[in-house]
Amino acid sequence: MLTAPALETVRATLPAVGAAIGDITPIFYRRLFDAHPALERDLFNRANQAQGDQQRALAGAIAAYASLLVAEDGPDPRLMLARIGNKHASLGVTADLYPVVYEHLFAAIVDVLGDIITPDIAAAWTEVYWDMANALIEVEHGLYSEAAVADGDVWRAYVVRERRLESRDTVSFVLATPDGSAFPAWKPGQYISVAVDLPDGAHQIRQYSLTGSGSADSARVTVKAVPAVDAAVPAGEVSNFLFENVFEGDRLQASLPFGELTLPDGDAPLLLISAGIGLTPILGFLQHLHSTGSARRVDVVHADRSPAAHSHRAEMLRIVDEMPAASLLRWYEDPGATTADLVYAGRVDLEQLALESNAEVYLCGPLAFMAAVRAGLIRKGVHADSIHYEVFGPGPELQMLQAAWAIAARRGVPSRRRLNPRGSRAASSPSSSRRSGRRRPRPRRRGKRARGERRSRTRDPSTPPPS
């Protein structure tokens, strides 16, 4: 926790620092990469850097953490670091990186805010940084200890045992240990980092959800090729390299499994909602529930662009059909000629779902999709605490920032105009399944059965993600 003087100083200066994040982050990263070019080449995601996502996320997370520290009615900010800590652990981040980040981040803050940063203000924000950094170091050390490895020792060699095309732009890889030893233990919903050496010499890393395991010495990941959208949104470097260049017998470097969004044991009904490649952690859930003979009620909703774009489509249908209390609904932006039962055109319509009051909901897909679905579920009476999500990329840090500012807005925070040079705050006014037998929920309207597809107990919702 912060000292009392630091707490008041941070509360007073938070609006100024928060408002300057967009100016601070480019300077911070330029300083960091000029001093340590290997970090940009070998650790940080170059695509996220090009789009600015990673830049906003890191400094934004610090401002968000500070907001929660000074919010009297907010949650403990350390409880919100699990996502970041797991991501860091999957990269092998160790404590010696944090002083490097501190040096260049605070130099950038001084560059932007200039004379506003008095010694007292600098000392207060230093407390914020190290409170957050030490909390992350503790989380990461705990994850390494749980995995029974030294801090940062997460990288292992695997052999590609099988490569399979799952849709026109998605491929799965079964990764096996070279000596036949057991694949590291993992929980449904977790991911591994995969590192590749690109043609330009860069060593880039991405995370991929584990979607199943066929044997004790192997596990599967699924990778989607990502085309460039325009000059501002480049093609996926690592995913495209894997899609185009990796085949059976090739070796890959990958991390131990990490990720805090896992499927807990229990008998509460589950509502699993995904869009596009966001189905990968959901598929990991389904594989686990199926293999363990779970009798939980499980309602699955998937959205995609078309049946041809829906990776693992047949596998998902089979698994749901073989489970005793599961259903699947699908929505496609372009369903083509398909007239399968419980397949709809357009975007996910939550009115088609019969929601269980005690259901636990898991979401994964594009941020806009998840935001829209989450808001719709809350309008339908689902408690926010029952909605869990997985975000690919640096989104969680940005969402933490938004949540923190929402708390600050409720309390009332001073504006930058009310900040005096000593960093004290002037007077300011507040700104204003249980399973019910084997019953399956029935949608309000039904699609037609596709020719050549047998009628199944599977509930087939597919939804295309909002653009």
Domains of the chain by start residue, with CATH: 4-146 (1.10.490.10), 155-255 (2.40.30.10), 262-392+433-467 (3.40.50.80)
Instruction: Tell me the residue type at 433.
Output: S
Q: Angle at Cα 303 formed by Cα 299 and Cα 309, nearest 5°?
A: 125
**Distance (Å) of CA 84 to CA 97, 127, 132, 414:** 14, 19, 11, 29
Q: Which helix (H) or strand (E) holds 321?
A: helix 313-322
Q: Where are the alpha helices (DSSP H) in 176-234?
A: none
Residuewise pLDDT in 10s, the chain (467 residues): 789 999 999 999 998 888 888 788 889 888 988 999 888 777 776 665 555 555 566 666 777 888 888 887 777 788 778 888 999 999 999 999 999 999 999 999 999 998 889 999 999 999 999 999 999 999 999 999 999 999 999 999 999 999 999 999 999 999 999 999 999 999 999 999 999 999 988 889 999 999 998 789 999 999 999 887 776 666 788 999 999 999 999 999 999 999 999 998 899 999 999 999 999 999 999 999 999 999 999 999 999 999 999 999 999 999 999 999 999 999 999 988 876 777 899 999 999 898 888 999 999 999 889 999 999 999 999 999 999 988 765 444 444 434 443 434 343 433 322 233 233 333 222 233 333 333 333 333 334 333 333 333 333 333 333 33
Q: Are 355 and 271 in contact (CB under 8 A)?
A: yes
Measured in whole angstroms, the distance separating CA 226 from the mean position of its chain's CA atoms is 17
The owner of tokens 């929601």 is 355
Give me the DSSP letters along 3-55: -HHHHHHHHHHHHHHHHTHHHHHHHHHHHHHHH-HHHHHHTS-HHHHHHTHHH
- Tens of pLDDT along 39-90? 877 777 666 555 555 556 666 677 788 888 888 777 778 877 888 899 999 9
Quick one: pLDDT at residue 408? 40
Q: Angle at Cα 312 formed by Cα 310 and Cα 313, nearest 5°?
A: 60
The owner of tokens 């397949």 is 343
Q: Are 242 and 226 in contact (CB under 8 A)?
A: no
Give me the DSSP letters along 238-278: HHHHHHHH--TT-EEEEEPPB-S-----S---EEEEEEGGG
Rounded Cα–Cα distance for residues 245 and 260 (Å): 30
Mean pLDDT over all residues of the chain? 81
Rounded Cα–Cα distance for residues 363 and 390 (Å): 6
- Tens of pLDDT along 86-143? 999 999 999 999 999 999 999 999 999 988 899 999 999 999 999 999 999 999 999 9
Give the residue numbers marked as catalytic. Answer: 98, 140
Q: Please indicate, yes or no, whether the overall pTM of this predicted structure exceeds 0.85.
A: no
Quick one: pLDDT at residue 439? 35
Assign residue 393 a region: left if phi > 0, alpha if psi is -120 to 50, beta otherwise? left
Quick one: pLDDT at residue 423? 32
- Tens of pLDDT along 189-218? 999 999 999 998 888 999 999 999 878 999
Q: What burial class does residue 123 get, using C-beta atoms within 10 Å of its C-beta: 0-12 exposed, 13-18 middle, 19+ buried?
A: middle
Dihedral of the alpha carbons of 224, 228, 229, 231, in degrees to the nearest 10? 150
Nearest to 206 by CA among 188, 221, 185: 221
